[in-house]
Amino acid sequence: MKLSMIDAVEMLRSEFAGQECNVRISDYGTRLSFSVYDEQTQTQVWVTDLNEDQVTSVRRFKFIIESVRSTITNTIH
């Protein structure tokens, strides 16, 4: 299954519903960048310039989301 950029944005907003998630599509709809801020851990993670292949592959995109979630969860203050 392939995701569209719009599907990817919706997936990010859903996955990080409890956190502040800012998403930007650029380069004529071929690149996606996002940041997630978790108020509880006071951690902000930026993911920049994902290309279309990284976004439209559901498996790759879910891996990216899980990596961001893991970074936020495992942050020690």
pLDDT digits (tens, 9 = 90+) for 15-69: 999 899 999 999 988 999 999 999 988 889 999 999 999 999 999 999 999 999 9
What is the pTM assigned to this prediction? 0.86
**Which pLDDT does position 40 carry in this prediction?**
86
Chain mean position to CA 23: 8
- pLDDT for the residue 37: 96
Is 76's pLDDT higher than 60?
no
pLDDT for 72 beyond 80? yes
pLDDT reading at 77 higher than 60:
no
Strand 20-26 relative to strand 43-51, pairing = unpaired
